[in-house]
């Protein structure tokens, strides 16, 4: 599969999902959380997290995490990546929340709770599509 096809599969997979699993590790140990997200571009995702939650606490201690975008079935294409996490504020946070609500309108009630807005920077996706012969998965690096 060409890099263009791998990139198209990654974009299609992101567009088809409104949530992902975010894995963090902090003083209280490893933790996985399901979150709504929106893609600013192929290698930049935005989401909101509870201010008092274990996930955000871990990110404040260690701003490196992992994500998986998947239906949960290995028969469907899925994406995996290590990410660098940035906590946003001001206009950047508002723009990210607007992007999130545009993709996932029913995430709106979360914005009325004590949250922080974060941006995930993906250096490289691992794109896997087992039924179409992409095993092992293909690396898709940010330019």
Q: H or E segment at 92?
A: helix 90-103
Mean pLDDT of the chain: 96
- The residue written with tokens 């060409």 in the block is 2
SS3 content of the chain, % helix, strand, coil (to 5): 35, 45, 20
Radius of gyration of the chain (CA): 15
Query: Is the pLDDT reported for residue 141 higher than 90?
Result: yes
Percent of the chain scored above 70 by pLDDT? 100
**What is the value of pTM for the model shown?**
0.96
Instruction: Give the DSSP per-residue string, 21-76.
Output: EEEEEETTEEEEEEEE-EEEETTEEEEEEETTSHHHHHHHH--EEEEEE--S-TTS
Q: Can you tell me the mean pLDDT for 54-73?
A: 97
Residue-level pLDDT at 91: 98
Helix H or strand E segment including 32: strand 29-36
In the structure, what pLDDT confidence band is assigned to residue 138 with cuts at 50, 70 and 90? Answer: very high
Residue 42 token pair: 């192929």
The token pair that represents 117 in the structure block: 């807005």
pLDDT at 112 over 90: yes
Does residue 1 register a pLDDT over 90? no
Predicted local distance difference test score (pLDDT) of residue 11: 98
**Is 3-141 a CATH 2.60.120.1570 domain?**
no
What average pLDDT does this structure show over 47-62? 97
Percent of the chain with pLDDT over 90: 96
Average of pLDDT values for 97-114?
Answer: 97
């Amino acid at each position: 599969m060409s890099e263009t096809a791998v990139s198209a599969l990654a974009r299609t997979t992101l567009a088809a999902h409104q949530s992902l699993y975010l894995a963090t590790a902090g003083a209280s140990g490893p933790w996985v959380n399901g979150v709504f997200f929106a893609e600013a571009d192929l290698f930049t995702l935005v989401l909101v997290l509870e201010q008092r939650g274990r996930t955000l606490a871990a990110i404040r201690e260690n701003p490196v995490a992992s994500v998986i975008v998947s239906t949960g079935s290995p028969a469907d294409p899925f994406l995996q990546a290590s990410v660098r996490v940035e906590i946003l504020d001001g206009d950047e946070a508002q723009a990210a929340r607007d992007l999130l609500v545009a993709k996932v309108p029913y995430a709106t009630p979360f914005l009325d709770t004590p949250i922080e807005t974060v941006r995930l920077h993906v250096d490289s996706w691992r794109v896997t599509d087992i039924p179409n012969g992409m095993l092992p998965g293909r690396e898709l690096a940010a330019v």
